[in-house]
Amino acid sequence: MHVVPIEKPDEVNVIVGMAHFIKTVEDLHEALVGAVPGIRFGVAFCEASGPALVRSSGTDEAMVDLARRNALAVGAGHSFVICLADGFFPLNVLNAVKAVPEVCSIWCATANQVEVVVVASGRGRGILGVIDGVAPAGAEGPEDAALRRSFLRRIGYKL
């Protein structure tokens, strides 16, 4: 068992998940461009049989390269990594990603620094889970709740 850090700049959001078929990369691509016009992203999918290649696609070559490097580092069969360029957020595409028929699960969708916990056996590698960001520093108090509510309204996610 070991931990694989996801390489990404702070402004890049990432989605890590599991799927099950070679057409996953194309279907994820279509779901992402259909969800947000002009989205800049890269997606990479680790095949688990046949030639066992990392398949990749996207609309931004730097994001495609980043997703591919991360998928190769994780190296878990049927896993995928989506890297969203600055200004594009998982919140805007997550339902579209989850609706792709091949998608089995989502491990994380975040702007935080992420580490993927991977286990290896004689057959291959699998994801046990992810470490997303840092541990809580305490519980929210009334002032913290007011700041949260204010922030969500300021950025337009709540009325």
> Please, are residues 74 and 46 in contact by the beta-carbon 8 Å criterion?
yes
What local confidence, expressed as pLDDT, does residue 15 receive?
A: 98
Of the listed ranges 42-46, 70-74, 89-93, 116-120, the one predicted with least confidence: 89-93
What local confidence, expressed as pLDDT, does residue 22 receive?
A: 87
Residues 15 and 79: their CA atoms lie apart, in Å, by: 11
Residue 107 has pLDDT above 90, yes or no: yes
pTM of the model: 0.93
Residue 155 has pLDDT above 90, yes or no: no
Domain positions in the chain are: 2-154
Q: Average of pLDDT values for 128-142?
A: 96
What local confidence, expressed as pLDDT, does residue 86 receive?
A: 85
Residues 11 and 15: their CA atoms lie apart, in Å, by: 13
Fold of 2-154: hypothetical protein tt1634 (3.40.1520)
